[in-house]
Amino acid sequence: MLLPLALSFCALAAASPLVQKYRPLVLWHGLGDSHSSPGMLEFASLIGEMYPGIFIHSIYIEQDADADRKATFYGNVNSQVDMVNEQLNDIPELKDGFDAIGFSQGGQFLRAYVERYNDPPLHNLITFGSQHMGVSEVSECRRYDFLCQIARRAVKNGVYSKWAQGNLVQAQYFRDPSNLETFLEANHFLTSINNEVAPIDGRNETYARNLASLEHLVLVLFTKDVTVIPKESAWFGSAAEPDESDDSLTVMQEKILGSTTSGEETTIIPMRRQPLYLEDWIGLRTLDEQGRVILETCEGEHMQIGDCWKPLVKKFVGSPA
């Protein structure tokens, strides 16, 4: 069984008598990845070189790497976030707070942790290509990735069924702009963390208060992303409902970011025109008006991070503990 990544970096810190104490860092990997994949280990190692002795914990649903990868496709996201809350509470090094980086769906799952718990507190959250407003298409799988292909077919065949909404991870952030009524009725994860469904006694004020307590929320969009559709979801943008088409929005999107899908024009509702922003359902507007929402881009396709992470990690990670 693989040990959690944090243990190896904790040992590294203890072995060095000249270590500077940095605020701990938490990572949450994306779809089809695991807490101890070669890519995650390399990324953590590079940050360790940048901040010698920093404590890094890589979130896992299962400690076995193969099982952890499977859990990115199959499972109940609300239950997974609950589990991660318990996991983070059991790590003494995190008790005074931490920064975090979320890759793809790991970014919106970390946001769910902040809104629902945030104890221990998260200070700076960086999300790379995360589906904060969901996806309106299910992404393609690699040719021989059969686990992904089976999950993709299941999502497409019954995305809003009770079973899919409780067991297929991608289905739990699938947001069809042409069928929002069904989405709002069936979905119990994305509608919750975006505070889209208000109960009789009003929206969850804890969500807004907790998110607004972040020092910074850094939202990174991949300019040629065709995995997250629309890619502007990384910046809290969403595809408009068919009857909400607005030429000015389409032109603005085309000039700044290019087409959402190959050659097609898609009307995008940007973050500052979203109801959840205008009415501040999750504290996003409060953060933004205080200059604490940072919109960044990485050139390339989904998760082609290259070196674009380095200035962000230098600025938003590594504060003294």
Residue tagged 């243990």 (tokens): 7
The answer as to whether 321 is a domain residue is no
Q: Checking DSSP bridges between strand 98-103 and strand 216-222, what pairing results, if any? A: unpaired
- Residue 8, pLDDT > 90, answer no
On whether residue 166 sits in a domain, the answer given is: yes
Instruction: Tell me the DSSP string of 87-115.
Output: HHHT-GGGTT-EEEEEETHHHHHHHHHHH
Q: Could you give the count of Cα atoms lying within 13 Å of 319 in the half-sphere of its Cβ?
A: 14
**What are residue 67's phi and psi, to 5 degrees?**
-65, -35
Whether 68 is in a domain gets the answer no
Q: What is the pLDDT of residue 137?
A: 73
pLDDT tens digits along 206-230: 999 999 999 999 999 999 999 999 9
| pLDDT computed for residue 193 by the predictor | 97
pLDDT for 259 beyond 90? no
Evaluate if residue 181 carries a pLDDT over 80.
Answer: yes
Range of the domain at 30: 20-34+73-300+308-316
Q: What is the 8-class DSSP label of residue 279?
A: T
* Gap between the Cα atoms of 315 and 239, Å rounded: 31
Residue 240 lies in a domain: yes
Query: 208: how many CB neighbours lie within 10 A of its CB?
Result: 22
Give me the chain's average pLDDT, please: 87
Query: Any idea what the CATH number is for the domain that residue 288 is in?
Result: 3.40.50.1820
Residues with a known catalytic role: 104, 225, 302
241 vs 135, residue with greater confidence: 135
Residue at 48 is within a domain: no
Closest C-alpha among 171, 189, 87 to residue 135? 171
Task: Give me the mean pLDDT over the 186-210 stretch.
Answer: 91
> What is the sign of the dihedral through the CA atoms of 36, 230, 184 and 294?
positive
Question: In this structure, is residue 247 part of a structural domain?
Answer: yes
Is the pLDDT confidence value at 20 over 90? no
- In this prediction, residues 192-216 reach a mean pLDDT of 92
The domain total for the chain is: 1
**pLDDT(60) > 90:** yes
Q: Does residue 188 fall inside a structural domain?
A: yes
pLDDT above 50 for 260 = no
265 located within any domain: yes
